[in-house]
Amino acid sequence: MNKPYVIGIDIGGTNSVVAVVDARGNILGSDKIKTKDYTEAKAYTDALCKCVVGLIKSTGVEGRVNGVGVGAPNANFHTGSIENAVNIPWAMGQKVPLAAIIKKETGLSCLLTNDANAAALGEMMYGAARGIKDFIMITLGTGVGSGIVSNGQLVCGHDGMAGELGHVIVEKNGRLCGCGRKGCLETYTSATGVMRTATEILATDERPSLLREITGRPLTSKDVFEAAQKGDTLAIEIFNFTGRVLGEALANFVAFSSPEKIILFGGLSGAGDFLLKPIRAAMDENMLFVYKGKTELCLSELKEADSALLGASALGWEVK
Amino acid sequence: MNKPYVIGIDIGGTNSVVAVVDARGNILGSDKIKTKDYTEAKAYTDALCKCVVGLIKSTGVEGRVNGVGVGAPNANFHTGSIENAVNIPWAMGQKVPLAAIIKKETGLSCLLTNDANAAALGEMMYGAARGIKDFIMITLGTGVGSGIVSNGQLVCGHDGMAGELGHVIVEKNGRLCGCGRKGCLETYTSATGVMRTATEILATDERPSLLREITGRPLTSKDVFEAAQKGDTLAIEIFNFTGRVLGEALANFVAFSSPEKIILFGGLSGAGDFLLKPIRAAMDENMLFVYKGKTELCLSELKEADSALLGASALGWEVK
């Protein structure tokens, strides 16, 4: 193999991580830029390409990189563009032809898929979905993403944009979403959704809570997790509410593709049983009987950053 | 071809239609039994097998039938059983190993899939989904069924039971469904769902309606259609409500598999624009912007009975 390395890029709402990966999934080196520090697409892509070129040099793999794979929100596999990603300032309301830009700036061919699809590919190759042909990956990060695998293939849809389960409307006239509609799943079960729930519960429930002691900075879902670990009733209630909303949605998703596993991934999934227990209870309560007890809910087996990165990098082998 | 014929069986909530079909999709002859006239599985399967054997004789194709394909509610392709179909008295709360029974009684090998999947196969071979790789078939009959095709393949799920979109919960604590849960799509958008809506609207809206003149027998969705054709305000409102519920659900389904087409099929789809217009309006209003205007809503291009029958019969070529 003349070109035994690929570049994986995982574009998240907060960070864009770039890594050099070998054929066995080892990460030789990585670097990152802040996704949200840029408001213009050109400034972002310039910084990203500079980061890629710098990393190739610092890891000493010049001339031996096969291609680039990118996982990004609202990425279209067919067109190689990021299309109207609502959580990314430089990609709102426009199409950013990232694959073409990377090719032009670095000389490397590039394929894109959405970040959750990339995570699903990573999980299928190295993680909890090895040997599994039907599963759904749910990413609980700044937003809520999904990668759906059916019959061993990614469900991409006719336009390459399938699998936006974070934007399934779960509550009519519910919370306003970044996409402009109301009641999307991600307004409840993303890290930011959890903070909205926390704000609501702290405002309406007068019981004491450790969370009330955090002032002078915005609450984070990590605060809620740490409070829950200390037995804080309201923190636990926040996760119970979040899990219930997600479990009800997952029960509906099962009626679609009857997956063997649903794999949770992303920052919020670190809450573990605080989230998993209410999700499982709500799934069980709301599942059509023909599916009951058949779909396993589990956590990603890969380190959070690695899953999307490795999945994205896998696309670097597919370029022509 | 020594065995140039197949048997297709379409098991609906009301009728079970059996047909002899040739390789070009021509129906040589057909017969039917009443699905709901039987409470015991054995009595039903005896009658069905008798019907199959009789039809083979009357069409003169003895010894030249390749196999049997069955489309039925809650049919499991992997096991050849009908599992807990909630609208069929003889299949509630149990598994009926229909493929094995047909093989034993007729000597013909048999494959099963759910009725909506069969309709999707029929549409893909002969109808509105020719050449289409990503579409969703929604059957609006006694219940609401669905067949999902992604990347040109039926989405069957790990257990062969995927695609029960009629049992997606669209209204928390909504109408009680035959499945024991509340708020399933089919409690609103099946033919029986429409009748529940009619009953509710006629009881709560005091405006005059042709539907109030129908007494001494239960209302049917055909009555509502005929009243709507005559400009009856409440009949039109019944379809508007039904279409709105279905359109909101379809917008969510698009976020799953981003289909090029959604094809409506089954008795209720005969209401045409009375239903299609409010569905399209609700889809458009509730669709995530990345999907807006991309998914075509259309009616099946096959005669209602034929689509499921032809799709089911196609499985008769697949038997070993």
- Mind listing the pLDDT tens digit for each residue in A58-116? 999 999 999 999 999 888 888 999 988 877 889 888 899 999 999 999 999 999 988 78
Query: What phi, psi does A65 have (nearest 5°)?
Result: -100, 125
**pLDDT level of residue A1 (50, 70, 90 thresholds):** low
Least confident range of A124-133, A241-250, B35-44: A124-133
**Which residues in chain A have their CB less than 8 angstroms from residue B150's CB?**
150-151, 153, 155-157, 162
Q: Is A167 on the interface with B (CB under 8 A)?
A: yes
Q: What is the pLDDT of residues A7-29, one digit of tens each?
A: 999 998 889 999 999 987 889 99
Nearest to B289 among A84, A134, A165 (CB): A84
Contacts of B157 in chain A (CB under 8 A): 134, 150, 257-259
Residue A173 has pLDDT above 80, yes or no: yes
pLDDT at B94: 87
A284-303: average pLDDT: 93
Taking CB atoms and an 8 Å cutoff, what residues of chain A touch B85? none
Residue B305: pLDDT band with limits 50, 70, 90: low
Contact A258 B159 (CB under 8 A): yes
Q: According to the model, what pLDDT value does residue A319 have?
A: 81
Residue bearing the bigger pLDDT, A284 or A307: A284
Interchain CB contact of A286 with B (< 8 Å): yes
The A residues from 84 to 113 touching B (CB cutoff 8 Å) are 84
Residue B152 has pLDDT above 80, yes or no: yes
Residues B92-126 have pLDDT tens digits of 888 999 999 999 999 999 999 887 888 888 888 77
**Where does the pLDDT of residue A311 fall: very low under 50, low under 70, confident under 90, or very high at 90 and above?**
confident
Stronger pLDDT, B117 or B229, i.e. the higher one: B229
pLDDT beyond 70 at A320:
yes
Predicted confidence at residue A267, as pLDDT, reads 86
Average pLDDT along chain B: 93
pLDDT at A32: 96
Average pLDDT value for chain A: 93
Whether the predicted pLDDT of A305 surpasses 70: no
**Mutation target among A258, A286, A292 for the B interface, most CBs of B within 10 A:** A258
- As a whole number of angstroms, the distance between CA A181 and CA A38 comes to 25
Cα separation, A15 vs A1, in Å, equals 31
CB contact under 8 A, B148 and A83: no
Integer Cα distance of B92 and B82 in angstroms: 9
Pairing of strands A15-22, A5-11: antiparallel
Alpha-carbon gap, residue B237 to B247, rounded angstroms: 15
Whether B181 has its CB under 8 Å from any CB of chain A: the answer is: yes
Examine domains A5-121+305-315 and A129-301 and report if their fold is the same.
yes
Pairing verdict, β B296-299 and B261-265? parallel
Interface of A with B in 128-157 (CB under 8 A): 132-134, 148, 150-151, 153, 155-157
Residue B116: the pLDDT is 83
Choose from B158, B250, B262, B285 for mutation: most chain A CBs within 10 A. B158
> Residues with Cβ < 8 Å from A77, sequence gap 6 or more?
A111, A112, A113, A117, A156, A160
Residues of B in contact with A183 (CB under 8 A): none
Binary contact (A258, B291; C-beta < 8 A): no
Q: Exposed, middle or buried: residue B50 (CB in 10 Å: 0-12, 13-18, 19+)?
A: middle
Residue A228 Ramachandran class (φ > 0 left, ψ -120 to 50 alpha, else beta): alpha
Query: In this predicted model, which residue has the larger pLDDT, B77 or A230?
Result: A230
A85: closest chain B residue by CA: B290
A76, closest residue in chain B (CA to CA): B290
**Which residues of chain B from 240 to 279 reach within 8 Å of chain A, CB to CB?**
248, 251-253, 255-260
Distance, in angstroms, between A19 CA and closest chain B CA? 29
Query: Measured in whole angstroms, how far is the alpha carbon of residue A158 from the centre of its chain?
Result: 22
pTM comes to 0.85
B155 chain-A contacts, CB cut-off 8 A: 150-151, 155, 256-257
Distance CA B198, CA B250 (A): 22
pLDDT digits (tens, 9 = 90+) for A176-233: 999 999 999 999 999 999 999 999 999 999 999 999 999 899 899 999 999 999 999 9
**Range scoring the smallest mean pLDDT among A104-108, A160-164, A283-287, A291-295:** A160-164
Q: Could you tell me the fold of the domain covering A129-301?
A: Nucleotidyltransferase; domain 5 (3.30.420)
The answer for residues whose C-beta is within 8 angstroms of residue A15's C-beta and 6 or more apart is: A32, A33, A34, A35
Q: Where are the domains of chain A?
A: 5-121+305-315, 129-301
Q: In angstroms, what separates the C-alpha of A297 from chain B's closest C-alpha?
A: 14
Q: In this predicted structure, what is the pLDDT of residue B1?
A: 59
- Residue A9: per-residue pLDDT: 95
What does the pLDDT average to over A240-254? Answer: 98
ipTM comes to 0.84
Nearest by CB: A159 against B169, B289, B294: B294
**CATH H superfamily, domain B5-121+305-315:** ATPase, nucleotide binding domain (3.30.420.40)
Q: What superfamily does domain B131-301 belong to in CATH?
A: ATPase, nucleotide binding domain (3.30.420.40)
pLDDT above 70 covers a percentage of chain A that reads 99
